[in-house]
A = this chain, B = another copy of it.
Amino acid sequence: MSVVAETDPFLLAASGRPAPHTPVWFMRQAGRSLPEYRAIRGSGSILDAIKNPRLAADITIQPVTRYGVDAAVLYSDIVVPAHAIGFGIDVAPGTGPVAENPLRTRGDVARLRPYEPDLDAPYVGKTVDILARELTVPILAFAGAPFTVGSYLIEGRPSRTHEVTRSLMTQETTVWHEVMERLAGHAIESIASQVDHGAGAFQLFDSWAGSLSVQEYRSYVLPHTKRVFDELHDRFPHVAGIHFGVGCDHLLEAIHESGCDVVGLDWKSRISDARRRLGDDLVVQGNMDPAAVLGDIDTALAAADKVLEDNAGHLGHIFNLGHGVQPEANPDALAAVVKYVHDKTKRATP
């Protein structure tokens, strides 16, 4: 574990305790919106960039330096474990994850062997090692949830609506659950290894779970997501886990049952509504519209204000966007938001 103080704003807020200020970080804070990123990144697949620990660490650190955010999320991709075990998936720049031979039949399940992070992708641990030495803010471990990773392996290409995935789910339910079990194993091992190397919390990305109905989510996805949080809680009782998905407002009750410590909200949900539905002591992350940081600073601060108003001074709020930073985002607007939220939420330490 890196040396992060017990008075750390992120870790305090993530467990619902009073923090010196509301912590801020941004999903995809490291990446294409930053000129310093474009200067060092080079071209080609993100999966190649990740294999260079010094480069991946520098990219991870850039937004911490520039913005003064309260957490550093590992520069990574949700298909790293599947790629590392040789499933045959890459990330095509401008398109996203692409698998030439998608997972479609019972016979394909064997292609998902267990993931052993330090053997299969030693570069990830090495990157976290560097970060733990060089950063004083918590490092967030990064992993894809079984459903969202599975949807890429099954569709073979990015999809808005995941019909092939949902068809496999209902038509080949045994195969489906076996795939989910294996991918839950990948997520658990991936996060556990990042924590062993020094991460202080983690985020599980179930970005596209919102394409499921509540019934589908509960039957085919929730048990596997819950296993990820349960096993990680058993192994690391003090490491908080964040759940994130887009368009998941209709699933919030079910997602909350996964045992996640923090519910990440997208820009269409309302924090006050989530607390009304899930309880006043809910710890939430979010949920400023990522569109509000594409332009001028005033627009960004007005949007930040709305989020703070929606949170109404509750403890247990991690400020973030409601989705990843877009390549077109204005870094000055993001910097202004961090400063604004810090200033506006400063409180006497307890």
Contacts and interface: CB of A to CB of B under 8 A. Distances in A.
B250 A249 contact: yes
Nearest to A306: B215
A294 B296 CA distance: 46
B289 A166 contact: yes
Given A171-B296, A171-B299, A292-B170, A163 B326 contact: yes
Nearest to A294: B167
17 contacts: A160-B160, A160-B246, A161-B290, A162-B291, A163-B289, A163-B291, A163-B323, A164-B291, A164-B326, A164-B328, A166-B291, A170-B299, A171-B296, A210-B247, A211-B268, A212-B268, A213-B267
A78 to B, nearest CB: 15
Contacts of A291: 162-167, 169-170
A171 to B, nearest CB: 4
Interface string A169-198: 111000000000000000000000000000
B267 A164 contact: no
A328 B249 CA distance: 29
A171 B268 CA distance: 18
A88 interface: no
How often does this chain occur in the complex, in copies? 2
Interface string A206-250: 000011110000000000000000000000000000000011011
B294 A164 contact: yes
A295 interface: yes
A329 B169 CA distance: 15
A292 B167 contact: yes
Interface of A: 160-167, 169-171, 210-213, 246-247, 249-250, 267-268, 289-292, 294-296, 299, 323, 326, 328
Nearest to A295: B171
A161 B323 contact: yes
A246 B161 contact: yes
A292 B169 CA distance: 10
A267 to B, nearest CB: 7
Contact of A247 (B163, B247, B267): B247
Given A164-B328, A326-B163, A213 B268 contact: yes
A162 B170 CA distance: 31
A194 to B, nearest CB: 27
Instruction: Report which residue of A163, A171, A212, A296 has the largest number of chain B beta carbons within 10 angstroms of its beta carbon.
Output: A163
Nearest first, the 9 A-B pairs at minimum CB distance are A166-B291, A167-B294, A167-B291, A163-B291, A171-B295, A163-B326, A213-B268, A163-B290, A171-B299
Contacts of A296: 171
A167 B210 contact: no
A249 B161 CA distance: 15
A299 to B, nearest CB: 6
A81 B291 CA distance: 27
Contacts of A160: 160, 246
A38 to B, nearest CB: 19
A226 to B, nearest CB: 21
Nearest to A302: B170
A249 B268 CA distance: 12
A198 B267 CA distance: 42
